[in-house]
Amino acid sequence: MALPAFIAQIKDARHSKRESVSQTMTAPDLTDEDYAALADFRNALRQFQAFSEDKATAQGLTPQQHQALLAIRGAQGRYPATVGFVADRLILKPHSATGLIDRLVALDLVERQPAPHDRRQTLLVLTPRARAVLAHLSATHREEIRRLKPLLATLLAQLDAV
């Protein structure tokens, strides 16, 4: 899927979710078990987020910097890693993403390079230092996800029954 179509799909999903939330706010058909399952799932997500933030901080990164590095690396071979791409992936305004990328460039974690097929476009590339830090963080995160997998599968099954 092309990047613009992918981004449009994400934005459409966010918009339709906002509409469905406002439509379901008047439907009081949730049980105590439904609320418990939703609360437990949200708690598990928050625990993972806290884990991720702690690990990023231990590597000298802010959580947002870690997310940006991961987005850039995750785009490799699939999408052009641009400031706009990072803004969409991190749900930031373009000027906020630009500031974030400027700080990553200053930390020698990201380089800006002209796109080979369109020199008007600037691509973001991780430096060797960023690749090393990200490899360590990603391996740690993958292990934590593997540890949480049984819990998350149970919680998702509970939510599926909702």
Neighbours of 155 (CB within 10 A): 19
Task: Judge whether residue 1 has pLDDT over 70.
Answer: no
* pLDDT: which is higher, 147 or 6: 147
Residue 113, in any domain of the structure: yes
- pLDDT greater than 80 at residue 133: yes
End-to-end CA distance of the chain: 32
- Burial classification of residue 34, based on how many CB atoms lie within 10 Å of its CB (0-12 exposed, 13-18 middle, 19 or more buried): middle
Tell me if 57 is assigned to some domain.
yes
Residue 65 structural domain: 33-160
* Helices within the chain (DSSP H only): 3-24, 32-58, 63-75, 83-90, 94-106, 128-160
In a domain, 27, yes or no: no
| Any domain includes 23 | no
Residue 131 in any domain: the answer is yes
- Does 2 have pLDDT greater than 70? no
Q: Of 16, 11, 24, which Cα lies nearest the Cα of 162? A: 24
Q: Does a structural domain hold residue 13? A: no
What type of residue sits at position 109? L
Q: Which helix (H) or strand (E) holds 113?
A: strand 110-114
Residue 19 lies in a domain: no
* 160 — pLDDT class (breaks 50, 70, 90): confident
Q: What is the Cα–Cα distance from 49 to 3, expressed in whole angstroms?
A: 26
| Domain count across the chain | 1
21 within some domain: no
Q: Say which CATH number the domain at 120 has.
A: 1.10.10.10
